[in-house]
C-alpha cells in the first residue's frame, strides 16, 4: 500500500525525533537540556492553544475550554521525561484562561460555572506549560466571527500585535527595559488605544514564572521597577494587553478569582482545619507554579483559600475588567535571547484585520524595521535570492496595509 504522508504525520514524526534526541543527549550540557525542554514546552503549548481555538464556538462553556487546554498540557508534558527514574515536575505552568470582551485576564471558572461563548465575542486565551521548571507561555486574541475583523475591535488587536512586534525587537541583549515601556505606549496611541496598566513582561527562569527582570506596561509614579539590561541566554514572556478604554482595569468580584500561586517565602500557622487541608494539598500538588482552584477538592477549597490569601501564603491572580463596551486584546509569547538574535517559540497567527487607523510614525516604522536575528559575521555565503536579514522586518497593521493587500 502506498504511504500517504500528511502534514500532521510529519509534525508528529518531528516531535518524536525531538524526544528521542533529548533522551540521547540530555546528559551532555545543562544549556542543551534547557533549550530542548523549552522547545518541547513550546510545541505542547502551541498545540494546546490550537486545540482550544478549534473548540471556540457559540454556546460552548468557557470552563470546558479551560479544562481541555489544561488536560492536553498535562497529558503531553507527561510524555516527555517519561522513562527517567528521578521524579521530574511537569505540567501546567499557567492554567488555561478564556477572558471575554471587556474582561482583561485570568478568567478560568470553576466546574459549576455556566458562562458560554456568544457570536462576536472577543476572546483572550492564555496558558502555559513547563517541563522540569522550564516554562513556555502563550496568549492570543480571537474574535468569534466569520470574515475579517473590522472597526475598533481590529484596532485594539492590531495595537497589541504591533506593540508585541516592537517589543520583540527591543527585548534584546544590550537594550534597557524602560525603552520597551515607552515604545509600546507609542504604538498603542497610534491606534487610539491604551496599554493596560499592571501587565508585566517577566523574565522566565527555571521554576520561576515571574522573574525579577521585568518590563512595565505603563510607567507611573505608583508603579516602579528596577532598571535592567537584557542579556544573552535569558528567556522572557513578552506580555501585551491593549484596550479601547482607559487601560485601568478594576476588580469587580473577588469570587471570580480562581488562580493562585504559592508564596514560597511566606509562613503562617493556619487556624482552620479546612485551610490546613487545602494548603497541604497545594503544597503537594502545586508547590511552585500557578494553579486553578478547579484542581482542588472544591467543597473545602473556598474557605481554605480565603485564609491562605489573607495571610499571604497564596498570591491571587484576580479577574480584572475594563468598562462594559470597551474592547481588550492580549498577545503573549515566549522569546529566547540567543547569541544570534531572538527566537519567538510560542505564537499563533491572527485573523484578517482591517483597522481604521493608519500608522505612519517614523519611530514605529524604524522599530519594526529592526532585524530579529543578528547579521552573520565573516564571509558566510548567502542563499540565492535571499537578502541578509530578510523576513525579520515587520510592518504596522493598519488601514493602508490592508487596502494594499485586498
Q: pLDDT band at residue 386, thresholds of 50, 70 and 90?
A: very low
Q: What is the pLDDT of residue 161?
A: 98
Q: Has residue 341 got a pLDDT over 50? A: yes
DSSP string, 120-145: T-EEEEEEEEEETTEEEEEEEEEESS
pLDDT digits (tens, 9 = 90+) for 64-81: 999 999 999 999 999 988
DSSP state of 15: H
Q: What is the pLDDT of residue 49?
A: 98
Q: What is the pLDDT of residue 387?
A: 41
Beta strands in 280-369 (DSSP E): 291-292, 314-317, 320-321, 328-338, 341-344, 353-354
Q: Are 160 and 329 in contact (CB under 8 A)?
A: yes
Q: Has residue 220 got a pLDDT over 80? A: no
The three-class DSSP label of residue 320 is: strand
Q: Which of 86-90, 322-326, 328-332 has the lowest mean pLDDT?
A: 86-90
pLDDT digits (tens, 9 = 90+) for 266-283: 999 999 998 999 999 999
pTM to 2 decimal places: 0.86
Q: What is the pLDDT of residue 405?
A: 40
344-360 core/surface letters (b: 16 or more CB in 10 A; e: else): ebbbbebeebbbebebe
Q: Could you tell me whether strands 235-243 and 200-204 are parallel, antiparallel, or unpaired per DSSP bridges? A: antiparallel
Please list, in sequence order, all residues whose beta carbon lies within 8 angstroms of the beta carbon of residue 316, skipping any fewer than 6 positions away: 257, 259, 260, 309
Distances (CA, A) of 52 to 45, 63, 256, 387: 10, 11, 21, 37
Q: What is the pLDDT of residue 376?
A: 56
Cell triple for 148: 475579517
CA 370/CA 218 separation, integer angstroms = 23
Q: Are 305 and 278 in contact (CB under 8 A)?
A: yes
Q: Across the chain, what does the average pLDDT equal? A: 87
Q: What is the pLDDT of residue 168?
A: 97
Q: Which residue has the higher pLDDT, 390 or 256?
A: 256
* CB neighbour class for 121 (10 Å; exposed up to 12, middle 13-18, buried from 19): middle
Q: What is the pLDDT of residue 31?
A: 53
Phi first, then psi: give them for residue 319, nearest 5 degrees: -85, 120
Q: Which percentage of the chain shows pLDDT scores above 90?
A: 74
Please list, in sequence order, all residues whose beta carbon lies within 8 angstroms of the beta carbon of residue 205, skipping any fewer than 6 positions away: 211, 235
Q: pLDDT band at residue 62, thresholds of 50, 70 and 90?
A: very high
DSSP string, 30-79: HHHHHHHHHHHHHHHHHHHHHHHHHH--TT-BHHHHHHHHHHHHHHHHTT
CA 33/CA 45 separation, integer angstroms = 18
Q: Are 62 and 113 in contact (CB under 8 A)?
A: yes
Q: Are 118 and 57 in contact (CB under 8 A)?
A: no
CA 108/CA 215 separation, integer angstroms = 25
Q: What is the CA radius of gyration of the chain?
A: 22
DSSP string, 70-126: HHHHHHHHTTTTTT-SS---EEEEEEEEEEETTEEE-----TT---B--TT-EEEEE
**In 3D, which of 175, 235, 180 has the Cα closest to residue 211?**
235
Q: Which of 53-67, 104-118, 207-221 has the lowest mean pLDDT?
A: 207-221
DSSP state of 212: S
From first CA to last CA, the distance across the chain in angstroms is 44
**In 3D, which of 245, 146, 262 has the Cα closest to residue 195?**
245
Cell triple for 269: 500557622
Q: pLDDT band at residue 84, thresholds of 50, 70 and 90?
A: confident
The three-class DSSP label of residue 251 is: strand
Cell triple for 347: 505564537
Q: Which of 171-180, 246-255, 292-301, 357-366 has the lowest mean pLDDT?
A: 292-301
The helix or strand, by DSSP H or E, that contains position 22, with its residue range, turns out to be helix 7-25
Domains, the chain, ordered by start: 7-254+320-372+394-405 (3.90.230.10), 258-317 (1.10.10.10)
**In 3D, which of 45, 121, 4 has the Cα closest to residue 347?**
45
Q: pLDDT band at residue 375, thresholds of 50, 70 and 90?
A: low
CA 96/CA 42 separation, integer angstroms = 15
CA 327/CA 30 separation, integer angstroms = 43
Q: pLDDT band at residue 23, thresholds of 50, 70 and 90?
A: very low
Q: pLDDT band at residue 392, thresholds of 50, 70 and 90?
A: low
Q: What is the pLDDT of residue 5?
A: 45
Amino acid at each position: 500500500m502506498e504511504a500517504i504522508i500528511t502534514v500532521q504525520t510529519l509534525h508528529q514524526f518531528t516531535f518524536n525525533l525531538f524526544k528521542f534526541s533529548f533522551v540521547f543527549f540530555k546528559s551532555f550540557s545543562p544549556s542543551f537540556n534547557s533549550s530542548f525542554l523549552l522547545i518541547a514546552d513550546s510545541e505542547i503549548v502551541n498545540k494546546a492553544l490550537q486545540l482550544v481555538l478549534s473548540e471556540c464556538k457559540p454556546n460552548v462553556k468557557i470552563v470546558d475550554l479551560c479544562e481541555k487546554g489544561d488536560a492536553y498540557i498535562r497529558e503531553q508534558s507527561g510524555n516527555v521525561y517519561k522513562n527517567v527514574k528521578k521524579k521530574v515536575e511537569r505540567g501546567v505552568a499557567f492554567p488555561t484562561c478564556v477572558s471575554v470582551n471587556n474582561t482583561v485576564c485570568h478568567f478560568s471558572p470553576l466546574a459549576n460555572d455556566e458562562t458560554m461563548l456568544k457570536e462576536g465575542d472577543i476572546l483572550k486565551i492564555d496558558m502555559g506549560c513547563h517541563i522540569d521548571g522550564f516554562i513556555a507561555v502563550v496568549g492570543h486574541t480571537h474574535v468569534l466571527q466569520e470574515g475579517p475583523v473590522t472597526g475598533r475591535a481590529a484596532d485594539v488587536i492590531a495595537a497589541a500585535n504591533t506593540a508585541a512586534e516592537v517589543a520583540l525587537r527591543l527585548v534584546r541583549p544590550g537594550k534597557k527595559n524602560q525603552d520597551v515601556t515607552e515604545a509600546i505606549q507609542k504604538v498603542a496611541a497610534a491606534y487610539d488605544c491604551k496599554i493596560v496598566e499592571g501587565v508585566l513582561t517577566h523574565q522566565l527562569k527555571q521554576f520561576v514564572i515571574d522573574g525579577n527582570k521585568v518590563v512595565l506596561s505603563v510607567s507611573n509614579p505608583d508603579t516602579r521597577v528596577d532598571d535592567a539590561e537584557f542579556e544573552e541566554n535569558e528567556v522572557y514572556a513578552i506580555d501585551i494587553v491593549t484596550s479601547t478604554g482607559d487601560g485601568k482595569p478594576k476588580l469587580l468580584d473577588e469570587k471570580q478569582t480562581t488562580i493562585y500561586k504559592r508564596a514560597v517565602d511566606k509562613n503562617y500557622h493556619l487556624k482552620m482545619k479546612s485551610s490546613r487541608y487545602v494548603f497541604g494539598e497545594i503544597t503537594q500538588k502545586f508547590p511552585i507554579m500557578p494553579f486553578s482552584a478547579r484542581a482542588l477538592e472544591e467543597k473545602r477549597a473556598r474557605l481554605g483559600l480565603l485564609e491562605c490569601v489573607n495571610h499571604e501564603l497564596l498570591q491571587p491572580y484576580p479577574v480584572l475588567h475594563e468598562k462594559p463596551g470597551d474592547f481588550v486584546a492580549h498577545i503573549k509569547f515566549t522569546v529566547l535571547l540567543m547569541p544570534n538574535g531572538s527566537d519567538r517559540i510560542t505564537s499563533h497567527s491572527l485573523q484578517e484585520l482591517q483597522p481604521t487607523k493608519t500608522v505612519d510614525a517614523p519611530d514605529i516604522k524604524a522599530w519594526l524595521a529592526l532585524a530579529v536575528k543578528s547579521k552573520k559575521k565573516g564571509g558566510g555565503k548567502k542563499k540565492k535570492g535571499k537578502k541578509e536579514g530578510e523576513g525579520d522586518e515587520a510592518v504596522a497593521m493598519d488601514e493602508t496595509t490592508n487596502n494594499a493587500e485586498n
